[in-house]
Amino acid sequence: MFKFSFTLDYNDYFEFNKYHLINNSKNRRAITILRLLIPCMFAFFIGLTMRRGDITREYVIFVVLIWIVLSALWIMIIKPLFSLAMKYNLKYSQNVNNKIFDIEMTLIFDKNSVTRITAESEITTKYKALRRIGETKNSVYIYINDTKAILIPKSVFASGTEKQQFMDFVHEKITAAH
């Protein structure tokens, strides 16, 4: 059995959303489509402008160079744009919905389930409902479904050995349940 008490803050939620944005297959597909869509639109626009008969060679070179530069910039900034939009949405959610990110939580992992206890609720989830484990430098994420996870800051572990024992325990429970 493992028991952890900690407080989740805005940065924990932001880190999870950023991890999820990058590691979810649907999100990766959407980013790839957007990375390709804008350059294709630029290419289509270039094709339309070149249909005119009075286009000079210098104009074509100029337009193609602009297309290459804009496409490269777009491909490079799409992930930071998504990250910025996500950060804005979390702040907006906090302000508009009065969602407070400083949540004190206790997690109890016993032989049959995990229980999340906060001041407002107590939720028990059977291990067979857990899907997978994700990990970043600062946190462990135990996914309940494609978009929802239990967030655990690595600071709750007394040592690397305890963290590894916990990871082995949860992995074993998830594997045995499926």
Q: What are the percentages of helix, strand and coil residues in the chain, rounded to 5?
A: 60, 20, 20
Are residue 79 and residue 110 in the same domain, yes or no? no
Tell me what pLDDT residue 92 has: 74
Structure tokens at 171: 């992995």
Q: Are residues 33 and 72 in the same domain?
A: yes
Same domain? 159 vs 124 = yes
DSSP string covering 118-155, please? -SS-EEEEEGGG--EEEE-SSEEEEESSSS-EEEEEGG
CATH number of the domain enclosing 140:
2.30.29.30
Q: Are residues 84 and 144 in the same domain?
A: no
Residues 18 and 89 in one domain: yes
Total residues found in the chain within this entry: 178
Quick one: 28 and 89 in the same domain? yes
Last residue of some domain: 61, 96, 131? 96
Find out whether 115 and 122 touch, Cβ atoms under 8 Å.
yes
How many domains, the chain? 2
Q: 53 lies in which domain range?
A: 14-96
Q: Are residues 107 and 91 in the same domain?
A: no
Rounded distance, CA 3 to CA 158, Å? 12
Cβ-Cβ contacts under 8 Å for 124 (sequence gap 6 or more): 113, 114, 115, 116
Q: What's the rounded Cα separation, in Å, for the pair 3 and 107? A: 6
To the nearest 10°, report the CA torsion of 31, 34, 35, 38: -170
Q: Are residues 87 and 146 in the same domain?
A: no
State pLDDT tens for residues 128-174: 999 999 999 999 999 998 888 999 999 999 998 999 999 999 999 88
Query: What is the helix (H) or strand (E) element at residue 114, kind and residue range?
Result: strand 113-117
- 11-50, pLDDT tens digit by residue? 888 888 888 877 877 877 888 888 888 888 877 877 777 7
Choosing from 56, 73, 96, the residue where a domain stops is: 96
The single-letter code of the amino acid at 42 is F
Query: What pLDDT was estimated at residue 4?
Result: 92
pTM: 0.71
Residues 65 and 119 in one domain: no
Both 91 and 22 in one domain: the answer is yes
Residues 118 and 161 in one domain: yes
Do residues 41 and 85 both lie within one domain? Answer: yes
| End-of-domain residue from the set 96, 129, 147 | 96
